[in-house]
Amino acid sequence: MRKLVVGTLVTLDGVMQAPGGPDEDRDGGFQHGGWMVPYFDDKFLGIMTEWTKRAGAFLLGRKTYEIFAASWPKSTDPADEIAVALNTRPKFVVSQTFDKLTWTNSHLLKGNVAEEVAKLKAQEGGEIQVHGSSNLIQTLLKNDLVDTLRIWQFPVVLGTGKRLFGEGTIPRSFRLVDTQLNTTGAVLHVYELAGGLKYGEAEVGRETVIFDAGAAHE
């Protein structure tokens, strides 16, 4: 069984929309595209390269696929390990509008997304990586298909934009397996799925505080 790994870049308030450029994704009138770029460094690049090399396949939403397919095929340097992985390994694309995919080794997934992804996970092979693809990630989280989260969190607050964990995300617990810090203040957290939530009760002085997965703390 293959692991499904979501790798994403988020702000402190959980926004993942358009980290790489002003025109990457303007949905909802988003005006902060490119917010991640000032925090890019060699350590970030090195870790992203190692991640991408691990992929047995990629799972992408329509918009992310269009962005990737417009740029990565132009990167033909064999020393560019990210480009080599993206250009040669299988890419599964979730879209109800595409009829044909032109990027090498691309495959269209139609029908029930959760069922099709579950079939991919049941196969033998290396990990299936999701990059970008904010709408697709929501479907994966709602259907309990994510095994690993690799989250780069940047010291930025935007207040608006598409968030990693949207409505419909089911309650789950994760286990922290790695944390790293780059030279510009971005923090990497890697989490493995641990299962359902555990609830408890904590006593504070004479009062008892009940911790609930759905509670909002002010």
Give 79-98 pLDDT, tens digit per residue.
Answer: 999 999 999 999 999 988 88
* The pLDDT of residue 53 is above 70: yes
H/E run at residue 137:
helix 134-142
Q: What is the DSSP string of 36-90?
A: TGGG--HHHHHHHHHHHHHEEEEEEEHHHHHHHHHHGGG---TT-HHHHHHHHS-
Q: Residue 110's domain spans which residues? A: 4-211
Average pLDDT over every residue of 26-45: 96
Distance CA 138, CA 6 (A): 11
CATH number (domain holding residue 134): 3.40.430.10
Neighbours of 47 (CB within 10 A): 18
- The mean-pLDDT minimum among 5-14, 59-68, 75-84, 205-214 falls in 205-214
Distance CA 24, CA 33 (A): 7
* The pLDDT of residue 214 is above 60: no
Is 85 within a domain?
A: yes
Give 115-133 pLDDT, tens digit per residue.
Answer: 999 999 999 999 999 999 9
Report how many domains make up the chain: 1
